[in-house]
Structure 1
Amino acid sequence: MSSEHDPNSKGQPDTASAALFGLCPRCGGKTLFGGAIQFAPRCRACGLDYTQFNVGDGPAAFLTLIVGAVIAILAIWVQLSFEPPFWVHAVLWIPLTTAMVIGGLRIAKAWLLGAEYRRRAGEGRLKDE
């Protein structure tokens, strides 16, 4: 059953939209981030506590490997094809790497938080009896 026909998901964005635009997984407000890559403590619109989700360092580790491989391949290709001076590499790759890491971290962290919310994932807890 798609989320648009699920009465419990009214107003909730799909995971891809939430990740790309930093939307709250509950209400769809653009309140997920409080900084460049830091989550806000809670949604300003609906009050969802973002601190209850633990996305960890997984996005950063995978993103470092992926962005590093892409930049290394492009830098080698540029060097072998055009043989530019070193400063050209610095001007090209430092800003591109920074943009790809920050943009990618926002998307990856938002994606994981949205997935945790949709699947009601959380830390393992023992019930108080």
Structure 2
Amino acid sequence: MSLPTSSLPPTIWAAILRGIRGRCPRCGGGSLFRKWLKPRDACPACGLDLTPQQTDDFPAYISIFVTGHLMAPLIILLATDFELGTLGMGLIVIPLALVMMLGMLQPAKGLVVAAQWWNGMHGFRRERVEADQP
């Protein structure tokens, strides 16, 4: 299926933003996921074959890394300013960390798939909008 170059993302950041939103990194029109973390076999809008994607554990690492860096100041604040005990700290920190990590997994997976597509990795074909030459 031929895709007009006007719908290709102009930069890697545009492709990544589409992936984070759960949209096809190539056209931005079709859904990237058929289930929560299961990518479609192909984009329903442009027909991009999504089977070459290989995200493995990288989205989980991204999610854990970001959650840890966002939670550390909160944990320090709760421990120093509010002097919470172990139970109080656990009742706040554990559910919040779980929600943050689980909420970040799908956008992180979309980011990784979009980066792989943009760079032509793992069987994806590298596609670019050709810049106008003077």
TM-score norm. by structure 1 comes to: 0.71
1:88 to 1:19, Cα distance in 2 relative to 1, 3 A = farther
The equivalent residue for 2:25 is 25
Runs of 4+ in 1 over 4 A off after TM superposition: none
Q: Kindly tell me the number of residue pairs found equivalent between the two proteins.
A: 117
**Superposed CA RMSD:** 2.5
Give 5+ residue unaligned stretches, structure 2: 124-134
Structure with greater contact order relative to length (CA < 8 Å, sep ≥ 6):
2
The equivalent residue for 2:129 is none
1:31-75 superposed Cα distances (whole Å, 9 cap, x missing partner) = 112222332232222232222111221231243233234324422
Choose which of 4, 7, 28 in structure 2 pairs with 1:11.
7
Task: Give the letter aligned to residue 8 of structure 2.
Answer: Q
8 Å contact kept, 2:16–2:115: no
Identity among equivalent positions (%) equals 30
TM-score norm. by structure 2 comes to: 0.69
Separation (CA, whole Å) in 2 of partners of 1:16 and 1:61? 17
Q: Which has more helix, going by share of residues?
A: 1
The equivalent residue for 1:46 is 46
